């Protein structure tokens, strides 16, 4: 009997030890969870027993509405978003090198275009590449980053740590500084290597509409990622939509030659508006030279100036102001769709 009691005692001690170890692990997990709450909602903790790893307790068990205001949620979320961006400095460095490399590569291909008749077609091709290459890369990068953050966003929303609005605005605004830096790295070397018009007004106009084209791609990718939880499906739909916009930009085929049933797509294509704006900025006020053989062949210079060039490519229909407001409206539309999808579409990650 004594032996049986000893065995029972040893068994109970083993069970108790296992339970204590499990509790200790649970307490550590709860402690880490509370620290995450601290960073999200600025809770204050007081340590009760550091050596034993006892769970940290709240200094105050109740919180006022002011503490959980939308402004405070936004402030904390945007600080966290910037910190996450800075922590991924290697990714930022790669994106910067990528933008700079593409800019130099394209600039070297279209280097010093000049102002002869051949340069007209070359300029149009340059603006098509400028407004289509980098926006495509931004789409894939945005979808991948959005998908990586989805699980955290879903869990924190399920726990009621914040609402959709603060998260949405923090995500949009935290990416703007880096987006601007990458765009200047992409635009500046290419512009001067290609020998485009060396005036401040023309250069800034080129940067503005390239910026809006790339940002439109980013907003479109965010909207599609918010609507479609699966990364593969979102990437496929984004590429498909981008291809449709690219085909209706006005470079591959004249927009007036499109079948009437799909001609309306050109009004929804942000690549069409940016492509037209970039050409109008460069060609307006530009004169082209002709050699004697061309004058003898055609009786006159085929394309004597930028106005004729824009008309020949059917790029003179809308003004720069119309292009700007069209791009601005498309950006706002994609951002509104992103907010709606984040709020009403279940963001639970697919296994």
Q: Please give the pLDDT value at position 39.
A: 46
Query: What is the tens place of the pLDDT at every residue in 147-170?
Result: 988 989 999 988 888 899 999 999
Among 61, 333, 111, 134, smallest CA distance to 223 is for 333
Which DSSP state fits 45?
E
Distance CA 120, CA 216 (A): 27
Query: What is the tens place of the pLDDT at every residue in 287-333?
Result: 998 877 777 676 778 888 999 999 988 888 889 999 999 999 999 99
Distance CA 150, CA 163 (A): 15
- Over range 34-48, report the average pLDDT: 42
Q: How many CB atoms lie within 10 A of CB 143?
A: 23
Q: Please give the pLDDT value at position 254.
A: 79
- Over range 173-195, report the average pLDDT: 92
Among 327, 334, 329, 347, smallest CA distance to 172 is for 334
Query: What is the tens place of the pLDDT at every residue in 257-268?
Result: 777 777 888 889
pLDDT at 273 over 90: yes
Q: How many CB atoms lie within 10 A of CB 305?
A: 14
Are 171 and 81 a contacting pair, CB within 8 Å?
yes
Q: Please give the pLDDT value at position 37.
A: 45
Query: What is the tens place of the pLDDT at every residue in 84-115?
Result: 888 778 888 998 999 999 999 999 999 999 88
Q: What is the pTM of this model?
A: 0.78
**What pLDDT band is residue 57 in, cutting at 50, 70 and 90?**
very low
Q: How many CB atoms lie within 10 A of CB 171?
A: 19
């Amino acid at each position: 009997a004594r032996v049986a009691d000893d065995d029972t005692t040893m068994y109970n001690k083993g069970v108790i030890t296992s339970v204590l170890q499990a509790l200790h692990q649970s307490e550590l997990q709860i402690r880490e969870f509370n620290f995450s709450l601290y960073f999200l909602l600025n809770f204050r903790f007081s340590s009760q027993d550091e050596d034993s790893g006892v769970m940290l307790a709240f200094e105050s068990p109740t919180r006022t509405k002011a503490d959980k205001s939308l402004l405070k949620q936004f402030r904390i979320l945007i600080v966290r978003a910037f910190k996450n961006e800075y922590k991924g400095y290697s990714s930022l460095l790669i994106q910067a090198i990528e933008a700079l490399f593409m800019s130099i590569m394209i600039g070297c291909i279209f280097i010093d275009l000049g102002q002869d008749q051949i340069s007209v077609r070359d300029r149009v091709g340059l603006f098509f590449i400028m407004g289509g290459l980098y926006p495509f890369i931004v789409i894939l990068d945005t979808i991948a980053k959005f998908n990586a953050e989805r699980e955290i966003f879903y869990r924190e929303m399920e726990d009621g740590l914040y609402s959709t609005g603060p998260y949405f605005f923090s995500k949009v605004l935290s990416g703007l500084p880096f987006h601007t830096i990458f765009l200047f790295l992409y635009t500046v070397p290419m512009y001067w290597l290609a020998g485009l018009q060396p005036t401040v007004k023309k250069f800034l106009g080129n940067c503005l509409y390239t910026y809006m084209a790339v940002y439109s791609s980013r907003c479109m990718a965010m909207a599609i990622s918010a609507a479609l939880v699966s990364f593969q499906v979102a990437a496929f739909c984004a590429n498909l939509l981008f291809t449709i916009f690219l085909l209706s930009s006005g470079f591959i085929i004249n927009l007036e030659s499109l079948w009437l049933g799909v001609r309306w797509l050109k009004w929804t294509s942000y690549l069409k508006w940016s492509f037209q704006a970039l050409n109008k900025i460069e060609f307006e006020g530009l004169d082209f030279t002709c050699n004697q053989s061309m004058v003898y062949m055609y009786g006159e210079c085929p394309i004597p100036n930028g106005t004729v060039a824009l008309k020949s490519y059917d790029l003179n229909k809308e003004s720069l102001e119309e292009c700007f407001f069209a791009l601005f409206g498309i950006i706002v539309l994609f951002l509104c769709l992103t907010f709606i999808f984040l709020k009403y579409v279940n963001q639970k990650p697919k296994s």
